[in-house]
Structure formats: C-alpha cells, structure tokens
Structure 1
Amino acid sequence: MADPSDSKGPNPRGRAYHKGNVAADLREAAERILAAENLENVSVRRLAREVGIAPANFYNHFNNLDELLAKIASASLDQAITRAVTTWSGHGSKPELLIASATEFIQFCLRNKQLMRLMLRRREHVDGDEYDDVSARSLMEVTRFIYGDVSEVASSGPNFEKHGMAIGYIALTYGFALILADGRFSLDGEDEVQLSKFVRNGILPFLDGSAAAILAAGNEGPHPSD
C-alpha cells in the first residue's frame, strides 16, 4: 500500500533543523496525525516528510517508530493520571470523585480515539519500561486514593486480594472507554451530562455496594440514579 505521505512535498515551513529539535518535531507530527487521521497513517516516511528530513535521519532520534509511539502513549497516560489526581483533591465523596475522574478520562478517549487505541489497545507499540512505569503509577494513584496507605504496593506491587477495587475501577473505566468508542451504545460523548449519567449508572453499583444487593435480590433493584 502506498505511503500516505507520497503526495506531500517537503516541509512547507522550510525550517532549518539542528540537533535538538528534530525529535520534538517528529513527535508533534505524529500527534497531529493521530488527532486528524488514523494510527495506521503514522509511518517513518510520513513523519520524515512532515518535518522535512530524510527517513534515515529518523533513526538518529528514535530506535524505531514504536519507541516514538510509546513515548506519546506514556505522556498521554501520565497526563490523564495527573488530571485524575487533581480531580480527587476536590470536594465530594470518594465514589463521586471516582465517577468524575472516570468520566473525564472516558471523554478524553472519545475525543482522541486514535490516541486511545495507542494507550489502551496496541500493546505491540507501547511495551517498554517508560510505559510500564506510567501504568504502575496509574495503579498506585488509584490505590492510594481508594485505600490510603500504599507503602505495601510501592514495595511489592499490587495485592490482587487486598486492592481488587482499584484494579476493578481501572478495568471498568478502560472498558467503558473502549465500548463507547466502538459505538456499542447510542451516546453523545460530547454531552457531559449524558456521559456522566452513563458512567455513574455503570460504575456506582460497584463502588457503593449496591451491585451485591441487586444480585442478592435477583432483580434490577434500586437504580443508582434514583
């Protein structure tokens, strides 16, 4: 298949590059493509054309394309964690703040679907120490907010018996982002009220204990939004 960049000429800005800014420009070019096109359109040849360098020069800055994509995924996930921590510092109950941060993350994913694919789906692109470290931080921060003391997690990793709610919360949040991005439900992701209600109804029963009551009763039970 022809490279999508074949129809593009050299860098239209005509910038003279020097050592130190090419890597940043390659990353910015990749982020622009992810924002406007598809992940599959990001290639070494395309990026080289976007910034006006020879394709071989790409490898002076990154070992391969996956390294660049991993850096983008890691930075985006790290920013998402920082936003969540900021949300959790606000006023409200823990369930309410967890729902708020999940809604924010899901809305970000719906607005940046190709970036979401890179962060949550394409493990072949994002394996590596940097991404693994950010993923570990994600679990650490969720565990810290839910349970308080994370000294045990910091020293030995998560205990799936003791910290299951943190792991489950991350799984639910990621899962909601993926199914909504796939269009499994007729939902306007830009409608914050509608999205928040959807997330609340899906996550709150697992946070406030009503899921167990619903299952025990053998029926739908009280709706979390009632």
Structure 2
Amino acid sequence: MIKNRLIPTLALAGATSLAAMLTPVAAKAITYTVNRSWSSGSDNASLVGTVDVPIGSYTINSTGTPNPFTNVNLTLTVNGTPFTLDTVVIPSGSISGTGQFLVNATSSTLTFNTNVSGFNAARVRFQNSGNPFGNRRYEIGTFLNPFTGQLVNLEGSTASPGFTEVVASVSLPVTFGTAQTAQQVPEPASLFGLGVLGTLGAASTLKRKLKPSKSAEKETTKVG
C-alpha cells in the first residue's frame, strides 16, 4: 500500500516541479552604467549615472509602448551645471508613423537603435519628472531635420540657462550603457533536463527499494 501511494505522489511532485520550471518568471532588471559626453561649438554636455532595464529586446512604437526603463538615475551636466534626470518618456510625435525605437538589453550591454524610413522619426527622452515641460532633458535617436526633410541620428540636451541646446551626431546602433555586473542567465533547456532527470531518478530508486524480492514473497506465502 505504501509503495502504491508513494509512486503516484512522486509523479505528482515531479509534475508540480516541472510546471513550476515552465511557469514564466518576471525578468530581473539589470543596472547599466551610463557615461556619455558630447559638444556643440563652445557648449559641452555629459550624461552619467545608471538606468535599469530587464534583459530582453524591446520595440517602442508610436504609442510610446512598451517603456522598459524601470529606474533612471542620471546626471546631465551642461557647461558645468548639473541637472537630475529620473525618468524616460516618449512624447507625442517623438516616434511617428511606422518609426520604431529599439532597445536591446543583454547581460552585459544596453544598446539603442532605430528603425525608420521616409519622414518617420524615432527618439526617446530622459527628463526630470518634477520639471516635465522645462529645460532639463536629454534625447537620443533619429530626428527629422525640419530644414532639409532628412532623417539624422542625434543625441542632445536642453538645459538652463537660456534653454541651451547641445546637440551632436551619434552612430546607431550605439552602446548606451554597460552592466555593472555581468549576469549569468541559465539555459532553460538545461534546467528542464535537470529537473526531469532528478524526478525520474528519485522515483526509479525508490521503486527499486520498495519492490519486494522473490524470496520474500515466497516466505510470505508459506507463512500464510
């Protein structure tokens, strides 16, 4: 009776374990270090700090979704004056038509790119949440030049005093940040195999231990 109860129990435990392994788990956000600098004429700017993004590839469309940035802690410095940037937004029109802003977050790097054509631009903005319409922001991506009608890849900032703009060309794709600590991501297939083999092995071992020998069966028959 014990044997008959234990084997199904092990099978159920194995199935439960397998189901747990197959259940999707929210990806953990990786912290990336950002250290960028650019200049325009006599104006200089830099952007340093960290951003958090879960590992994965994200395509941000004209609706502004998805927004994969879970935490922003950046300092924008323009001509020696620092400003805090703590959020990422995609203002209306910053990604137009079929334009796409691409974010690729791996265990080691955070890469930005765009997929644009015609007059469809794609850019994202880092800004200060307490000053959403003010002069503390940094943008990167593909812009539509209003004078030439051409698409150009730029990064730039707007900051006080006088809404100073510092804009420079950028090559896309660009490595925007590097992971503070490289993350080892286990292969799902290997986890699956270990779980199944472990469960089957335990059940097989217990079954052998619980199976009575032929001599024991004969002795039991004689006693009866």
Structure of higher CA gyration radius: 2
TM-score scaled to structure 2, two decimals?
Answer: 0.25
More strand by share: 2
TM-score scaled to structure 1, two decimals?
Answer: 0.25
